[in-house]
Amino acid sequence: MNLFTESNLSPEVLQAIGDLGFVEPTEIQKQTIPFISTDTRDLIALAATGTGKTAAFSLPILDMIDDNSRKIQLLVLCPTRELCLQITKDIKNYTKYLRNIKTTAVYGGSSIMDQIRSLRDKPQIIVGTPGRVIDMIGRKALDFSEVQWVVLDEADEMLSMGFKDDLETILSETPDSKQTFLFSATMNKEVERISKNYLTNPHRISVGSINAVKKNIKHEYYVVGYRQKKEALKRLIDANPNQYSIIFCRTRMETQEVADFLMQNGYAADALHGDLSQAQRDTVMKKFRLKNIDILVATDVAARGLDVDSLTHVIHFSLPDDPEVFVHRSGRTGRAGKDGISMALIKPEESRKLKHIKSDTKIDIVEKNIPTGEEIIKAQVGGVFEKLFTEHEDFFDFDDSLIPDLSNFTKEQLVHQLLQFQLKEMATYYQTRNDIAEQKFSRDEKPSRRERGRERERSGEKRERREGKPRRRNEDMVRFFFNLGKRDQLKKMDMLEIINKATSKSKKRADIGDIEILDKFSFFEIEKSFKNEVLDGLSSMKFRGKEMRAEVAN
């Protein structure tokens, strides 16, 4: 199947996707659509985020749904509200000419009563997040007794966010006769276990290698001192004009600080993190999708489910601890066949962490120098012409008689004058600033002890403690002692899942700080407001058959 018109999709579906400009299916669509259309087996499909999975599973199912029945026939589960809304929007676009097929989204952060009322339309398709679906099952608002297809989209993300028990509860409410389709970017042990327990003799489709690093993304890193980090970020943005980018930070506090810095310097930027209300998050993401802002500063958790195909750059303001997270962040650029650039700002002491990422992912991350003022102005001149030659739309009308006599100017003189006018402010800024000298950090350039303490509070990074001297800690966080460690085969990802599960009943996601896995025990940090939830939640849980115990560390 090289074209959608070569498939067995109905004329109504083909017309709808034709309106969207779909002509050639992606690789996951080429393999998945014929399988779902003709086979009754369950399916495991492994493909990176952004490869067209929603169309891959929904298009063939839409042709098989009984539009005369008002029962729920398709259930799609996904990890975040944003992805839930995106999938719902896509399916509604695909059913544009299938008037009797209704789709409803159910997700947290909005009125559950409004969503229950929306079920009066008797939708055949439900797209939901696990927590809200569980709530609606408890209220007997959802009946999955006649579901024929269940899709677990971004299954690895749902499990890493602590939804394992919720998934199992929801799946137990569906008929044994259903087909289950599991879509995931990775195939870790928990995803494998879910597939063994809830899928029957599944067929496997794998597009590319799991956790594949895209070849069309250039990876760069820049070594910069602590005090110069925000200035270095500004230079990277200025040296890459016309970019549409996400800047990733580690914590909510750091995210807001970086966004505030950029906005104060005149950039069209905004922040996305867990301290924002749902209405604020919706506003920020709407502005970003409409390109009213072209720089989004976000935490990893907040950016989940944000599906944007045209990102030109990803900037790692802070390196993640997990190499898989680095790959996932970077993979948000370079989509839809376009090239992308991933840039990382690292402090000198983070070279070991970067080496680990390079070794684990096999990515060739090239060291570059922070651009000089002269290099930035050259790039800006190129950016002006790039924009001039690619944007041909007339935004307003005016009388040509308003154009003054330019006969005394040569073409070059006129362009020179216009560029001087356009770039005057930026050129003046960099003429008054010294260039950042890479890898030359004198003692005076290093942060003071007080600044290092503040940085630890902002970034949540792990630091070695000097013997006999306690660490400075973020006052909003509480540090726990945990009774299991490396000897118990405990890893950071396990600890994250344990914490997420212990706090899963909360309406908002907990902010997690340092996780330090030692030989016989461990330490972790979490927001103070979740202290009691952690203590209560862990008391009833086990890890590999062992009792878990946590207490506030002194």
Per-residue pLDDT tens digits for 264-294: 888 999 999 878 877 888 889 889 988 999 9
Residue 389 lies in a domain: no
Rounded to 5 degrees, φ, ψ at 448 are -70, 170
How far apart, in whole angstroms, are the C-alpha atoms of residue 168 and residue 181? 15
How far apart, in whole angstroms, are the C-alpha atoms of residue 350 and residue 316? 13
Residue 508 lies in a domain: yes
Residue 442 lies in a domain: no
pTM here? 0.59
Q: How far from the centroid of its chain's Cα atoms is residue 354's Cα? A: 21
- Of the CA atoms within 13 Å of residue 396, those in its CB half-sphere come to 2
How far apart, in whole angstroms, are the C-alpha atoms of residue 348 and residue 353? 10
Q: Domain containing 304: what range? A: 217-370
Q: Per residue of the chain (554 residues), what is the pLDDT tens digit?
A: 677 888 889 999 999 999 998 888 988 999 999 999 999 999 999 887 667 889 999 999 999 999 999 999 999 999 888 889 889 999 999 999 999 999 999 998 788 999 999 998 899 999 999 999 999 999 999 999 999 999 999 887 787 677 888 898 999 999 999 999 999 877 777 778 888 888 989 999 988 654 456 678 999 999 998 788 999 999 999 999 999 999 999 888 899 999 999 998 889 999 998 788 778 888 898 899 889 999 999 988 778 667 777 899 999 999 988 887 888 889 888 876 788 999 999 988 888 899 999 988 889 999 999 999 999 999 998 888 887 777 666 777 878 788 888 888 888 888 888 888 888 888 888 887 888 864 444 433 445 555 555 555 444 443 333 333 344 455 678 888 888 888 888 888 788 878 888 887 776 767 787 788 888 888 888 888 888 888 888 878 888 888 888 888 76
Question: Of 370, 399, 416, which residue sits at a domain end?
Answer: 370
Report the number of distinct structural domains present in the chain. Answer: 3
* pLDDT tens-digit series, residues 197-216: 889 899 999 886 544 566 78
Task: Please indicate, yes or no, whether residues 259 and 328 belong to a single structural domain of this protein.
Answer: yes
Task: Please indicate, yes or no, whether residues 202 and 225 belong to a single structural domain of this protein.
Answer: no
Task: Please indicate, yes or no, whether residues 127 and 154 belong to a single structural domain of this protein.
Answer: yes
| CATH number of residue 519's parent domain | 3.30.70.330
Q: Residue 61 corresponds to which tokens in the numbers above?
A: 């199912």
Q: Is 549 helix (H, G, I), strand (E, B) or coil?
A: coil
Task: Please indicate, yes or no, whether residues 27 and 154 belong to a single structural domain of this protein.
Answer: yes
In degrees, rounded to 5, the angle at the alpha carbon of residue 88 between the alpha carbons of residues 337 and 178 is 100
Task: Please indicate, yes or no, whether residues 118 and 228 belong to a single structural domain of this protein.
Answer: no
Question: Of 172, 206, 240, which residue sits at a domain end?
Answer: 206
